[in-house]
Structure 1
Amino acid sequence: WHAGIVPVLLKVTYRDDFFSSCASVFTIHNIAYQGWFDDFFAQRACLHEYLPPPDDPLRSRAYSMTGLGIYHSDIVSTVSETYAKEILTPEYGMGLEGLLQKRGNILLGILNGLDYEECNPATDKALAANFDLSKLDERANNKSALQERAGLPVEADTPLLGLAARLVDQKGIDILVPALDNLFQETAVQFVLQGIGDPRYEEALKNLEVRYPDKARIFLELDFSLARLIFAGCDIYLSPSRFEPCGLSHLIALHYGAIPVVRRTGGLAETIPDYSTDAASGLGFVFESYHTDDLSLALNRALEVYHRKKEWYTLMVRAMKADFSWQVSLPKYEILYRLARGEHL
């Protein structure tokens, strides 16, 4: 949201200046973060002239840097087609759906890409053992290394679930904790998490670790090397998000051979076909409703397939071959910028 003021300056302050021919694209990564301000701040920062006219019913929704960026940019984009549709609704628009609906004809979604040179299990120095499709058996060494680091029993056949994320409302921690609680009581399974965030979620997760010391380890820290080891060491990667503009962690996990369990929302819906309904092309296990029971059912479906080793191996290979590189998305951005020039002229 910090860049939301730029389209405003281009369109209003510098419209007769050197930048008068410069078009603007405002890309929304996550509309939950908006940079709201009030009248006092608007007066002190001289922002009133940038707001919609006083008689515009949407004026009150533009008191944020994101709102101003939406209102003044030539094109608005976001990081998946599904999320672009979702944020037009009250459920996902976070109060800005009215502004977006007004500009809906210039709202476009382009899926995020992944840099496979940067995220490469064959060269990643954070891993205990590098691997690729030609030596996929080496991946098991990362699982044992992650179990050792977490102080969990080193058991090759026990399914290991992983998550590396910010611990905020968006990420589904409130439905994940009770789902894991139920799972730990019924199933031989392990879980490793790395992340920091809301103290409520940190406490709930640490309580889970205390109750199940041989099954759960919670690292409340920001450690990107540990996150990479989780991607390479876990069998199942969890993304039970309330909403997800696109998400990159599940895409990295795929490329590192972990199979995602995801909620059908935003970019997760576009990137993870459900294996349960389409075993020929599925990449993970998908649930619909934001509810613990639905997540639990998806976890159980994943665990059933995990124990069918040949089938799971085939799924891992397919996951690692999936292409979500920038080569797919970059041509769409070229078109987007040309559209912005057309809107500006």
Structure 2
Amino acid sequence: MSSRVDRMEDVLEFSVSGDRLFSADHGEVVEGWTSDVYFVKTRDVLRELGRLDAEVCAEVFAREGGVFCGVEEVRRLFLKAGARVSVEALEEGEEFAPREVVMRIRGPYGEFGLYETTLLGMLSSASGWATAARRCVEAAGGLPVLCFGARHVHPSCAPVMERSALIGGCSDASCILGAKLGGREPRGTIPHAAILIAGDTVKVAMAYDRVLPEQEKRSILVDTFRDEAEEALSVAEALKERLFAVRLDTPGERGGVTPDLVREVRCRLSMAGYGHVGVFVSGGLNPDRIRALADAGACGFGVGSYIAHGTPRDMTMDIKEVDGRPVAKRGRIPGVTDNPRLKRVI
């Protein structure tokens, strides 16, 4: 059984089983085993000098602006670790500017220095995903954007990514755990696999309608076997007023989902008396494509890779005070940086 890493001796004695998964479990994160080893060496050096518990103030900033996310996980990390610190931060979902201080931590260095790697990683990744989601939501102009990104990242961080997308403004998420962590119910239709195995889109649509809980909206893929407009009309005729939307996910090999395709499907549904049926779009979307498809009449979007591949916001943590004395490494301004937007979280 592992315990919190404290000294280099602990690192040298630490071993892992050969058949484990490669991702860290929650205990290993809290115990410090995902930290960079130089922070453990720092503990040994400062302990030798009698300075491990020096009172310090540290600030976190990003080199690039974006949407702030991850502070709740950092807060829980410190609480689970029993760290005696006070923390101020921006609220999750707030936009931040380049080099703006997004978090301030005060306390004995030995209480939190070990977690610099971990907290920066949490904030960096979550803010990158939230920023990508926000850009898609802005492009959608009020239409719903669902996060379908779980398949594009390692499963250990998929729930973090989808929760971050919700913080960024996505209406829903498809990953079960990610949606639940964000206080939502997971949303999504069915994959092409179900239709390919069953062999008929209408047959699947009718079975989908029979077995789904009543509160679930009936949205059906219509690009598996036949022309999208043709399948959309067939499904609408089968489910009538119970059909909420058809989903277009035409692959790139067939030209992808274009604005003209959305216009045609939207027009043919309306002309046949199914104006209540929306045209939901997924597959390789980005903000520019979302804008064009929204103008063409799409009712909502499922975004995967653009959010999942959102560029992390490089976060840096600087010590700015030691025992109440302003300090900074060369190139930085000593002392606490004023930011009235920070709010106490611990």
Report TM bin, short chain: under 0.3
TM-score for the superposition, normalised by structure 1: 0.24
Q: Which has the larger radius of gyration?
A: 2
Q: As a proportion of its length, which structure holds more helix?
A: 1
Structure number with the higher strand fraction is: 2
RCO higher in 1 or 2 (8 Å CA, sep ≥ 6)?
Answer: 2
Q: TM-score, normalised by structure 2?
A: 0.24
